[in-house]
Amino acid sequence: MINFNKPYFTGKETEYIQQAVQGGKISGDGIYTKKCHQFFESKYGFKKCLLTTSCTDALEMAAILIDIKEGDEVIMPSFTFVSTANAFVLRGANIVFADSYFNNPNIDADAIEQLITPKTKAIVVVHYAGMACDMDKIIELANKYKLFVIEDAAQAIDSFYTNKLGEIKPLGSIGHLAAFSFHETKNIISGEGGMLVINDEQFIERAEIIREKGTNRSKFFRGEVDKYGWVDIGSSFLPSDIIAAFLYAQLENLENIQDRRKEIWNFYFEGLKTLEERKLIELPKIQNYATNNAHMFYIVCKDLEERTALITHLKNNNIGAVFHYLSLHKSPFFSNKYKGLELTNSDKFADCIVRLPLFFELTKTQIQLIINKINEFYGN
């Protein structure tokens, strides 16, 4: 059986966890947490990084930080994971879903402006498959209507956007706030884990407080105040240093992991492009402003029926391919609340995407087998 995913261990994880344990401090913000923060801040120029226990938590922190209140509207794609929406729903926001592009699952930047009202407070973009959204247009709208931009960069580690001035920006450095995931299905992992990136300085002090149960404990540990107490709302969003120790071992191998994943991605692309040329499937399109971090390899089938048949065919050949994201506006939780437009592109990706196995240890022989079985399905 070729599983859909297999977490990759670099070999150093247990050693670093052992060191964290021996160091005698395994709660949050220990030595390894600081090493991870420094890694991200220096490699990607993020203004301030705070590890969290998940990307979901980082998104919840973002919703608190921009002061989402009952009735505020937040625009986001429907084709995304539930956490993108839940974080804001938890604070009473009304979610306004926008469609994807026809040939790209990301939010259609040209579909956003018509959804903006005086109640709109933020645009949440999701860099699907780690490929950038059209950020110039989105930032322009945000400036025009004074909205916050939050990047759900769960899948977008080590991926970049080239803006209209030709500047190359790491994803996660563009919005006011950004959230990354280190869930075991992502490129860089810690089992469960995430990170809030703060690019707008006005949020730094409060973010530290919210992450520490609404206390100013971070300031206390830095010696900036002589006692700490309850100063704001908050929760326990920070991970144990054991998690950070694991993550740091991954970060040290980031280039190696990324190189291998890109190799696998390109191998799939080469092996499947004749099917696209024959218009039997669609392959991912990398926009000229985006890079590919090889988070995901997906193909787009003609319709739901064909997709179901393909996944079954692969399963019968012991290959674990999956689909995901039922459009959120059609979910059991949201469909009776949804009053917006038809989101046909979002529905298309919900019905037609198949994700193929992509993990560090996947061999060329296995990839070739998967390619062969897909070609066989299409009668090649």
Residue ranges in contact with ligand PLP by CB under 6 A: 54-56, 80-81, 83-84, 126, 152, 154-155, 181, 183, 194
CB of 365 to ligand PLP, least distance (A): 29
CB of 185 to ligand PLP, least distance (A): 7
CA–CA–CA angle 160, 154, 171 (5° rounding)? 20
The residue (of 231 and 254) whose beta carbon lies closer to ligand PLP is 254
Q: Which residues contact 16 (CB under 8 A, 6 or more apart)?
A: 32, 245, 246, 248, 249
CB 203 within 8 A of CB 232: no
Q: Which phi and psi angles does 161 have, rounded to 5°? A: -130, 135
3-state secondary structure of 218: helix
Q: Which residues contact 156 (CB under 8 A, 6 or more apart)?
A: 127, 130, 131, 132, 171, 172, 180, 293, 295
The residue (of 155 and 345) whose beta carbon lies closer to ligand PLP is 155
The residue (of 186 and 307) whose beta carbon lies closer to ligand PLP is 186
The residue (of 219 and 324) whose beta carbon lies closer to ligand PLP is 324
Query: Structure tokens of 131?
Result: 């490929």
Q: Which residues contact 244 (CB under 8 A, 6 or more apart)?
A: 20, 30, 32, 33, 35, 36, 51, 190
The residue (of 220 and 360) whose beta carbon lies closer to ligand PLP is 360
Cα separation, 191 vs 181, in Å, equals 10
CB of 239 to ligand PLP, least distance (A): 11
The residue (of 195 and 367) whose beta carbon lies closer to ligand PLP is 195
CB of 380 to ligand PLP, least distance (A): 31
CB of 136 to ligand PLP, least distance (A): 21
DSSP state at residue 188: S
CB of 84 to ligand PLP, least distance (A): 5
